Amino acid sequence: MRQSTRKFVALGAAASMLALSACGQNEEYAEEAAYEAAEYAEGASADSYEASGDAAADAMAVEASSDGSAIPSLADIPVSLPKLAYVYDYRWRLPADEIGPLQRRHASLCEQQGPSTCQILGMNKSGEDADEVYGELQMAVASKQARAFGALLEDESQDAGAEQVSAEIASEELSKAIVDTEARLTARTELRDRLMDVLKTRKGTVKELVEAERSVARVNEEIDQARSWLKEMEGRVAYSRMTVRYETGTPVTNDFLAPVAGAVGSLGTIFGYLVAILIVLGAIALPIGGVVWGGRALNKRLRSEPAQA
């Protein structure tokens, strides 16, 4: 349809030129007009051919995509990946005397990775009783190597005979917070630049210039605060927080003898409480019994003296 329209326009233009040349009754001009009309018609037909070729190519592309043989590429479409801050938490159960050595081996394994991959944030161990020893190791691990490093910790713990109680991986979405902070930082920077231009030109009253200086100081403070927030969030995305906990205790089982073993193990505690109660009662009863016995003995002596007299 587009091709026929362009041909119609070309033929109309040629006819108009021929009519003008006929009215002028100049054969030379008529020949030139006819030649130009023919060139215009050829050019129009060529354009229409190119347009029809483009339309055919578009139709083929649409048909190919509908058939599924050719899918448009999305490589040029910008995609914003989510920025996540990961938190890893591992919990291990093992004998009390093995907690310290395993904790130190895990810390050494972190130091072997280098400061750019793993850093120790904190390490503590508490408890004196064999059943109440607790330890904790906190580390910052590069997010790209966090999963692999967690596997190394598990291998080291299993070699030490530890039992894994739990393993958790949590994440926090920080994309919106980072984008908002960057936008705020950009806006405040532009405002600071405009205020600095006002101060450089020295246009305005003294009061206005003083107010501009105060505004610059306030905006600079907001810029520094936004930069610190942005740096902190980017650090949380780049380095995942990993916590390894160590504890003692008897695992819960469905064995028939487990309650019996628990009762036998608690007999010592029960006897200890009984002895403690007896000691407390003795500490209270002995002084009271001594006072009562002494009073009775004195009363008997006082009664026996008049009878003898």
170 shares a domain with 214: yes
- Quote the strand ranges of the chain, DSSP E: 84-93, 118-126, 134-142, 163-173, 239-247
CA angle 132, 136, 140 (to 5 degrees): 170
**Residue 203 placed within a domain:** yes
Rounded to whole angstroms, the Cα distance separating 55 from 44 reads 16
**Residue 286 placed within a domain:** no
Q: What is the pLDDT of residue 105?
A: 94
95 shares a domain with 14: no
Q: What is the pLDDT of residue 82?
A: 82
**Residue 12 placed within a domain:** yes
196 shares a domain with 50: no
**Residue 105 placed within a domain:** yes
- Record the tokens describing residue 71, joined without a space: 């899918």
**Residue 114 placed within a domain:** yes
Query: Could you give the residue ranges of the DSSP H alpha helices within 92-174?
Result: 96-112, 146-159
205 shares a domain with 94: yes
Number of domain units in the chain: 2
**Residue 296 placed within a domain:** no
Q: In Å, what is the CA distance from 32 to each residue of 17, 27, 36, 38, 132?
A: 9, 9, 6, 10, 110
Q: Which structural domain range is residue 96 located in?
A: 81-252
Q: Which residues of 221-260 are buried (b: 16+ CB within 10 A; e: fewer)?
A: ebbeebeebbeebeebbebbbbbbbbbbeeeeeeeeeeee
**Residue 277 placed within a domain:** no
Domain boundary among 252, 269, 290: 252
Which pLDDT tens digit goes with each residue over 249-297? 654 445 566 666 667 667 778 878 888 888 888 888 888 888 888 888 8
34 shares a domain with 108: no
**Residue 134 placed within a domain:** yes
> Closest Cα partner for 153 from 134, 142, 143, 167?
167
- Polymer length in residues for the chain: 309
Q: What is the residue type of 91?
A: R
Which pLDDT tens digit goes with each residue over 155-183? 999 998 899 999 999 999 888 888 888 89
Least-confidence region, from 16-25, 197-206, 268-277? 16-25
- Record the tokens describing residue 199, joined without a space: 């101060």
300, pLDDT greater than 90: no
Q: What is the residue type of 77?
A: I
